[in-house]
Amino acid sequence: MTDRSAPQGAARNITSYGDEGFSRYLRGAFLAAAGYDQEDLSRPIIGITDLTSDFNPCHRALPSIIENVKRGVVEAGGLPFVFPTASLGESFMSPTTMLYRNMLALETEELVRAQPMDAVVMIGGCDKTVPAQLMAAAVSDVPVIVDVVGSMITGSWRGERLGACTDCRRFWARHRAGELDKAEITEVEGSLATTAGTCMVMGTASTMASLAEALGMMLPGGATPTSPSGARLRHATATGRRAVELARDPLLPREILTPAAFENALHVLAALGGSTNAIVHLLAIARRAGVELTLDDVDRVARETPLLVDLKPSGTRYMEDFHHAGGVPVLLRALADRLDPGHVGVSGVPLAELVARTDPPAPWQDVIATPEQPIGPTGALVVLRGSLAPDGAVLKVSAASPHLLEHTGPAIVFDSPEDAAVRLDDPALDITADHVLVLRNAGPVAAGMPEAGSLPLPRRLAAAGVKDMVRVSDARMSGTSYGTVVLHCAPESAVGGPLALVRDGDLVRLDVAERRLDLLVDDVELARRRADLPPRTVPLRGWRRLHAETVLQANLGADLAFLAADVPGQGGPRQVKE
């Protein structure tokens, strides 16, 4: 609970000069220089994060969204203060934005703690930004509302509707297979990402926006309006107004991010056929919120909840279609029997009441289904265990090939994404469609966990018509990807996980029905190989060294160990399901 007797507004978080009076006087002088008078400073201060960057085209509409949040804040009697944080543009950061998710989470957490604000609106969008902000929110002592920049509107090429980035990958695969020439793929390149906004399939950005709403950290209806739309701006204004109310009558993130919130979010994730990346992010957010969420919870809920939303890559449609069908509120209504009706998010209204105000999925639309007539079966996401992943691995079954869900094949091992890039197209590579592509040294410690798990099919096999192969790694894959791709194997190879022991030709068995992933090599041979493993190397300096030395494994959320501690004073981790 917030201490209402504590200093508010500009009097919060005084700079330490050893004289509180002088600190206030000096802060007042600089605020006066910025044009603020006592009337201004009597109002609640609402911090608003600014993640605009020329290196993040997904956030191109953010300035106008921020202006609308500011307008809402002023209308409600608050004082908006915009402050910058890092912006993580998915295709602009090397080796991967995931390496910097925890940095943005740490930066956001510290800037909220260090600066004087009574509530904060965190506006993210591109994949890692919303997870980082939710991780920061989980440990915030002031109210937080999350908003997003919204998704892009679809484009088209030669009469075919296109969206980033499931279609990016599909067309690239066709180009690699020789079906599209250079001129054609260049035309496609200009038609995939046509407006401001985040990828408009159910990739990581759309999944995390939807989960922020399901967790109760976003006002209802905020996940799905497209980035260029008036609905997006109106939601921003409403968010600004609500932030002022929360500053006056606080509801803290740790009161919202309860075990029930995560249970609700897992049902929504399963019904969306959402990104596998969301599993790592939810685990990280939960640890910060002091909630004991595990991969077993992910698998348990996914077994109960069928696929209800028809969006790529699991389905056929795009975010604007989801929005027109009613978005997350209608999905929550469809899932209501499975959700905790008493959960209260930033709206302050219990979920049961929000659901009662919402119509069920309408008969005129075919994007949001009901559990009685789902789009797909239960188990869209599964957690696998076995001798190749003792601490777990994940597979998005809804984006995989049914004929590969039970498969045994010989391994071809790649020691890094770069190694795979060179060798996969080598005509001399002796490989068939039955082989299992194994990628290692791409986990959190080794490489920051890039989205390299969805290895491209060897060009020769793609040209021969092969559409999918089993792929296994300690990497992630983009939420927009598809294929029979086993990800997040833990422990990763760089810390001695069993992926490090695989050799070309070893048999690997995937059995999704049994939730198993096994290396069919005897223990004596594995022990011999383990004794030959080279010593681990760590980056020499900077963030990469800190990250490599302290990051947790994927099954624990890949947060930095010293940031993932349970919230003090809550009597230990809170169980998702007793």
Residue ranges in contact with ligand FES by CB under 6 A? 58, 90-91, 126-127, 198-199, 203, 205
Pairing of strands 516-519, 436-439: unpaired
| Residue (201 or 411) nearer to ligand FES, CB | 201
Q: Both tokens of residue 475?
A: 């990497």
| Residue (152 or 512) nearer to ligand FES, CB | 152
Q: Does residue 156 sit in helix, strand or coil?
A: strand
- Report the distance separating Cα 467 and Cα 477, nearest Å: 17
CB of 487 to ligand FES, least distance (A): 18
CB of 502 to ligand FES, least distance (A): 31
Question: Which element (helix H / strand E) includes 517?
Answer: strand 516-519
Pairing of strands 516-519, 507-511: antiparallel
CB of 296 to ligand FES, least distance (A): 29
Half-sphere exposure of 68 (CA within 13 A, CB side): 20
| Residue (203 or 221) nearer to ligand FES, CB | 203
| Residue (127 or 518) nearer to ligand FES, CB | 127
| Residue (207 or 555) nearer to ligand FES, CB | 207
CB within 8 Å of 262: residues ≥ 6 apart: 215, 282, 286, 289, 291, 293, 297, 576
- Report the distance separating Cα 102 and Cα 284, nearest Å: 10
Q: Does residue 119 sit in helix, strand or coil?
A: strand
Helices then strands, counting H and E runs in the chain, come out as 21, 18
Q: CA torsion angle for 281, 286, 288, 294 (degrees, to 10)?
A: -90
Cα 476-171-194 angle, rounded to 5 deg? 90
> Exposed/middle/buried for 26, CB within 10 Å: 0-12, 13-18, 19+?
middle
CB of 420 to ligand FES, least distance (A): 22
CB of 418 to ligand FES, least distance (A): 22
| Residue (199 or 560) nearer to ligand FES, CB | 199
CB of 376 to ligand FES, least distance (A): 23
**DSSP for residue 418:** H
| Residue (102 or 198) nearer to ligand FES, CB | 198
Residue with tokens 């075990």: 259
**DSSP for residue 445:** H
CB of 10 to ligand FES, least distance (A): 35
CB of 25 to ligand FES, least distance (A): 44
CB of 91 to ligand FES, least distance (A): 6
| Residue (13 or 91) nearer to ligand FES, CB | 91
CB of 212 to ligand FES, least distance (A): 14
> Exposed/middle/buried for 71, CB within 10 Å: 0-12, 13-18, 19+?
middle
- Report the distance separating Cα 431 and Cα 437, nearest Å: 10
Q: Both tokens of residue 286?
A: 């939960």
- Report the distance separating Cα 2 and Cα 44, nearest Å: 14
Question: Which element (helix H / strand E) includes 337?
Answer: none
Question: Which element (helix H / strand E) includes 304?
Answer: helix 295-304
| Residue (203 or 448) nearer to ligand FES, CB | 203
CB of 129 to ligand FES, least distance (A): 9
| Residue (90 or 506) nearer to ligand FES, CB | 90
**DSSP for residue 405:** S
| Residue (148 or 261) nearer to ligand FES, CB | 148
